[in-house]
A and B are shown apart, each in its own frame.
Chain A
């Protein structure tokens, strides 16, 4: 289990694996500044659900020659207490032995944004056989029936997408986000975390009025690509921690 209780608000920051040499230092900085788990993006050439920031981060990482092997090797050199979760696309997740390799490297969960409820079965089976949680997404457009099915089969936490759209920073949190979080929370005992467009401590504070936590990605990756080091980015995570 990635999270065992809902008594505190969860903060899950994201970093694209391999985006810069020494990227794993960001993982440590996030852990040191109050992250409850850390999402590591395994870059894919065709990230259908990502906006410009994560697309660029993925492109940079792939241009650096990033591979799954390299990411897992870098992670083996650091030690953090909080669970690590990999986010990647179906083409990588369906590869033979993928989940086993994640599990052997100590990864605890997997998020596959283009494997919806109807297609995720084989991936979830492989993840579970390896001991990984398969964390599902739900969107504002997800029907009531699907929300029930998604929450019923969810593991780790439920990733509630704030908007109908791609990842990326936004000026304001969509009001639909809190409504989605509330509806999902009524269906499951697992934590429900809001992500996509959670860009500021204020957004995070607003989100956790109805959600159990937040995932923050593009706001961090933009700063990273603008040159922010682990300490500076850790401070950003720390500010969001204080806000929730």
Chain B
């Protein structure tokens, strides 16, 4: 029995997960689950996805030894370069899988929520590629601070729905996407961007992202001492960890200090799943606050809650200032500008370098920082 296997029952990872959706959405979730189960064991589907990941998304992504930074830190830092995938982040892995599934199910339209805009751009891209309509729900605050991605999505033909309720970030965009889906289940497919949401999404998205960990495991000569990834909802971390959960590698997920559901949250139900969430003493979900829009989320995927509970993955936090410093440091030492989200993992490695002396550290560089340039001006 491997640690990151199929969830039990109705999408349970230990005590976390589930399908907390209105009755009106239950049939749609059941259809997605049935279609995914069928597709995932269909060699034809797997081959088509593999083909797209290879000739379209640019996989496999390389592992880059960060030589100068490694020398400065006194360890061996390897970067899994998801920033080199088409659209600039790991989000394309999941979206190509789900868009193929949507087409296979006969759906005409992809609905997507987005925070930083990386998932929205990936969804708009896959929709264009496969001839689907695309509707992207995005908090008004994120529309303002991630303007380059908004322009990219529009150029790709997506319709942007700015969401002005609540904290006007990813949490509220997700609520609105779920509302949009309830009213449009016949023609629309809800393409969730992370390992969250109702069953089967946390499992399905992890499966589509497992290509990161599978590739990386085959690319490294020996199992690294440590594998590190940033965690918002947690899809790049989940995908990476699948390749190493059964090895001796220590696994660490790094949360934004202002959006650390694993570190500061308590058990609760949000967006269709039971996991750790940030909430006040009355059970109201609180607003995350991070410089990285993609980590500005008060929940975390249920499998992470489980991996944390059983002690297989350690979760840590870093603050905005360390993250900005990490972006600059990677840019100057390696010629790579990471996304603010990805830089959380690096900031933790830099902070802990003294403890990690001599170790081999594999870090997933989940996305590139072009979208964040305005944040540095």
Contacts and interface: CB of A to CB of B under 8 A. Distances in A.
A26 interface: no
B178 interface: yes
A137 B165 contact: no
Nearest to A70: B282
Interface string A147-173: 000100000000001011110000000
Contacts of B270: 46, 91
B165 A141 contact: no
A23 interface: no
Interface in A5-49: 44-49
Interface string B9-23: 010000000111111
A91 B269 contact: yes
B149 to A, nearest CB: 24
B64 interface: no
Contacts of A47: 175
Interface string B279-301: 10011111000000000000000
Interface size class of B (residues with CB under 8 A): 20 to 34
Interface stretch (A77-85, A116-124, A231-239): A116-124
B26 interface: yes
A110 to B, nearest CB: 15
B24 A164 contact: yes
Contacts of B60: none
Interface residues of A, number: 40
A99 to B, nearest CB: 14
Contacts of B272: 48, 114
B23 A137 contact: yes
Contacts of B26: 116-118, 141-142, 146
A91 B166 contact: no
A67 B282 contact: yes
B182 A91 contact: no
Given A91-B270, A91-B279, A166-B182, A46 B171 contact: yes
B352 to A, nearest CB: 34
A137 B22 contact: yes
Contact of B22 (A94, A139, A150): A139
Contacts of B132: none
A145 to B, nearest CB: 11
Given A46-B171, A90-B269, A142 B27 contact: yes
Contacts of B100: none
A47 B28 CA distance: 19
Given A91-B279, A114-B269, A164-B185, A48 B23 contact: no
Q: Find the residue from A46, A68, A140, A164 having the highest chain B CB count within 10 A.
A: A46
Interface of B: 10, 18-24, 26-28, 165-166, 171-172, 175, 178-179, 182-183, 185, 268-272, 274, 277, 279, 282-286
Given A92-B282, A92-B283, 11 more contacts: A46-B270, A46-B285, A48-B21, A67-B282, A89-B269, A90-B20, A91-B285, A116-B20, A116-B26, A140-B24, A143-B27
10 contacts: A48-B21, A48-B179, A59-B165, A91-B268, A91-B269, A94-B274, A114-B269, A117-B23, A141-B23, A141-B28
